[in-house]
A and B are shown apart, each in its own frame.
Chain A
Amino acid sequence: DIQVTQSPSFVSASVGDTVTITCRAAHGISSWLAWYQQKPGRAPKLLIYDASRLQSGVPSRFSGRGTGMDFTLTISNLQPEDFATYYCQQANSFPLTFGGGTKVEIK
């Protein structure tokens, strides 16, 4: 299994802030990483795939970078609707695995 480790697990931020979440894969996975947003009681929503490609309809304040083992999700100009839990997922090999999640809360 390719384990993926997210950090931090929790971040407190204010509207307008920039937040960066990191995901590290235990082995190199090229650019095969996706990011999801999940709000309480809701299913996850795809934000970014192939490490940096924005899913259709996702605001441009979300951006992804990285290749190999290290990846980041950056949320610029944080909006009230962005307070949620974010997960990364390695998409390269089976079993497909998710990070432990990062909860973004209002400061």
Chain B
Amino acid sequence: QVTLRESGPALVKPTQTLTLTCTFSGFSLSTSGLGVSWIRQSPGKALEWLALIDWDDDKYYNPSLKPRLTISKDTSKNQVVLTVTNVDPVDAATYYCARTLSTVTTNWFDSWGQGALVTVSS
């Protein structure tokens, strides 16, 4: 059974760095064709894909946020970490990690964590 769980601070101050951890089980991030993505959803809004790291340690970022994002993995711990630097109130959202089925032509999200709600306020 595949499970993912996000963890991190519920509240961050503007200009701080947000660090979120996705801890997963039921699969290995060293398996070809698998990856983990971060996706966020502002209250009442649509979904926004942020970043993907795959089994080969290739990393992909949303260009609109790329300068502020870093994604990394620790395969031995079954964890993926996302950092967002210089946060702003517009970064307040529920952040999801999701297992990504990743090929040359297609990437979709077949299992999701429950989400971590992040508020940005001084």
Q: Say what secondary structure dominates the interface of chain B.
A: strand
**Residues of chain A with a CB closer than 8 A to B46's CB:** 87, 98-101
A63, B108: Cα distance in complex, Å: 17
Instruction: Categorize the interface residue count of chain A.
Output: 20 to 34
Partner of A87, one of B47, B60, B62: B47
Chain B residue at minimum C-beta to C-beta distance from A34: B108
Residues of B within 8 A of A (CB): 37, 46-49, 52, 60-64, 96, 98, 101, 105-115
Do residues B48 and A98 form an inter-chain contact, with CB atoms below 8 A? yes
Residue among A30, A42, A95 facing the most chain B CB atoms (10 A cut-off): A95
Tell me, yes or no, whether A61 is within 8 Å of chain B by CB. Answer: no
Partner of A32, one of B47, B105, B112: B105
Pick the 6 closest A-B CB pairs, nearest first.
A43-B112, A34-B108, A96-B49, A98-B47, A32-B106, A95-B62
